[in-house]
Every structure is written in C-alpha cells, then in structure tokens.
Amino acid sequence: MLRLKGNSQIKRFYFSSDSRRLFTIGPFVKYITVWELQKGKVERKIPMPPYDEANAPETISDMALCHPNQLFVWTENPRLPVFHWNLGTDSETPESQFVCPIPFHACRPVCNQSKLLFWEAHEKLIYDPVKNTDLTFQLPTQWYTSGIDINYDGSIVSTWNYMRTLYLRQVIQPLENPVIIDNVTDVQHVRFHPSQNLIAVAFNTTVQVFDATTGQPVSQPFLHDYSVYQVEFTPDGKRMISVSYDEHVRIWDTATYAEVAKYDFGIGPLIRLAIAPDGLTFAIANYRKGEIVVADLDS
C-alpha cells in the first residue's frame, strides 16, 4: 500500500496507460501533477500553457485520459481550445489543441477510454482523438441533466440527474423509447461494464447493477452507511468497486455479486476512485485533505 499527500483536494485523477503513474488535478490549479508510484513522490508537474503570449495560464477545469497516453485538459470557458498531450513523451508542450464545435459542459472518456464524449444541453458530440473525427447527434435530455456516460461499444448512452431517473438511449435512435430507471434517488455516479451492457449506479447510500437494455436489476442493492460517490468496474469486468463518505472501499465479484472485500484505509470520507489499466491496483482519494492511497486489488 502506498500513501500520497497532495496540497489540496483531489478533483480528478487517472492512472497512466502502463499503471506506473498517477495524474491528478486539484481545484483552481494551473498544472497537472504526475506521481511516480514506484518512488511514491511527485515526478513532475505539467503546466497549463497560456492561450496567448500576453496572458497567464488559465485555471484547469477538468481533464480526461484516453488510453493509450492521450491526455486532454480544458478550462471553464468552453470556447477556449482543449489542450492535448501525448504522455508517451516527456514534453510539457501540448501536442495539439482543438476547439469543440459545441459549447460543452462536460467531457468523459468513453468506449473503453479510447474516445471523448462532449455534451451540451440538447446536442452531443463524440470526438475521436486518434482519427480526428467527430459525430454530432441529437440526444434529448432534461435541463437538469447531471451526468452522462456511454457503453463499451458506443451504442448506448446514459444520462441522469442527481435527484432521480436515469435514461438509457440507443445512440443510433436516440428519440425512440428510452429505457428508464426511475427507482433511484440522489444519483451520484454511473459506470458501464467494460464488455457487457450492464450499468452500475451509485445512488444515495446504494450501489446496484442494471441491465442497460431493459432497465431491470441484475444484482441486489449493496448498501454503504453514507452516500456513495463513485463506482467502477475493473478492466476485465470481474470486480466492481465503490467508495463512500462512510470511509469504506467495497469490492464485489461480478459473477456472483458477492462482496469479496471491504477496506477502511484510515484517510476519512472518500470521494474519488481510479482503477489501474492492468487491473492490479486501485487508488482512492480523501474528500477534502488531498490524501491518496494506492493499494493492490487483491490485498
């Protein structure tokens, strides 16, 4: 087990493609911190470049890591370019930049983290950073949509709001008869299975898995003591992990949905979770203190 101490709350973090590094950002920062996990310390900081010579760098709003080694970073202003780094090199200079053709509000890595999904109130865009192509499609959502995710092959998209109701729509026919899961409240996070049309939903103090084509539950509800903030599948889909304000990490076997482990690493309420691409380790982050624990999955 490895403990890392950042300077502030962890807003977002990802493992590198080789699972040997961790990339983190905090709130109101202008750089990405790169942790070298074997040594347990900061390897370098990648600064956000200024948008022109006269201005200082903008504050980072968020980032997404698409494997292999494609890092995308953007600001609060959706009309400014998104910067793109190839992390296969040590260069601090972005490899490219692009302006999203819609005023996006969020971005997520999708399709096994090989693409980016930008979304706006009633228009969605899938951007392929490898082929440099995009596909724009209409996807009716509510004005209070809180999040979006897409399944492993890019055929089903989910949208949800924090209060209740999760919609699952076919990308090729988004206007026709969505699958609705409306027996969930206080939805915090959802994640599709990496190779099956299953979706794990973190809502209130509960984690539950549903069939993404029918909306029917395929597992019993799993209960934490307090709010669940994130749920993830391992890359091979054999485990499901959740973190909660109750300070615990819980792990389930997805073949039987039996709990196989429950951990309290002693760093307080948990809000962030990342699983390494090799499926051997995972990282969790404290709610406020910027503490990170990296642990073996089967420890």
Provide the pLDDT for residue 197.
95
Any idea which of 4-18, 125-139, 218-232 has the lowest mean pLDDT? 125-139
pLDDT band at 170 (very low <50, low <70, confident <90, very high): confident
**CB neighbours (10 Å) of residue 279?**
17
pTM for the full predicted model: 0.90
Q: What is the pLDDT of residues 220-279, one digit of tens each?
A: 999 999 999 999 999 999 999 999 999 999 999 999 999 999 999 999 999 999 999 999
Average pLDDT, integer, range 79-90: 85
Give whole-number Cα distances, 80 to 57, 76, 95, 245, in Å.
Answer: 12, 9, 16, 35
Mean pLDDT of the chain: 87
Give whole-number Cα distances, 239 to 28, 37, 212, 296, in Å.
Answer: 34, 23, 18, 13
Using an 8 Å Cβ cutoff, are 222 and 210 in contact?
Answer: no
Q: Percentage of the chain with pLDDT > 70?
A: 90
pLDDT band at 143 (very low <50, low <70, confident <90, very high): low
Token couple for 112: 């096994």
Average pLDDT, integer, range 77-85: 85
Q: List, in order, residues 6 or more apart from 188 with CB less than 8 Å away.
A: 162, 202, 203, 227, 228, 229, 230
For the chain, the straight-line distance linking the first and the last C-alpha, in angstroms and rounded, comes to: 9
Residue 117 phi/psi, 5-degree rounding, is: -120, 115
Using an 8 Å Cβ cutoff, are 240 and 228 in contact?
Answer: no
